[in-house]
Structure 1
Amino acid sequence: MKAWKIKAYATLVRLERYDLEPVEGGTKSVVEEEYRIAVAEYLLTGEIVA
């Protein structure tokens, strides 16, 4: 996983441009499945866990 991509997805989720997980009827883009846990941890802790 790429650290820059985790940070980018986290920023997009914070700005409400992306959803962390698919939402039924949602129209926003969704974080790639392989990055979801890493992005969620980054949003909670501010650290990238390898």
Structure 2
Amino acid sequence: DLHCEKKASASIALTPVEDPTIYGVVETDAGNRVKRFVEKPSWDEVTT
């Protein structure tokens, strides 16, 4: 699987939600690596 192929230390599952401001968002880079977690962001911090 991808986790083993990439020799990842950890894997997480994410799902889109209608209103991320009540949960949080994960910012990723072009390689789908997590750059940062944003807890309960404002709408200005939310991207697709």
So what's the TM-score if we normalise by structure 1? 0.23
So what's the TM-score if we normalise by structure 2? 0.23
Larger Rg: 2
In terms of fraction of residues, the more helix-rich structure is 1
In terms of fraction of residues, the more strand-rich structure is 2
Q: Higher relative contact order by CA 8 Å / sep ≥ 6: 1 or 2?
A: 1
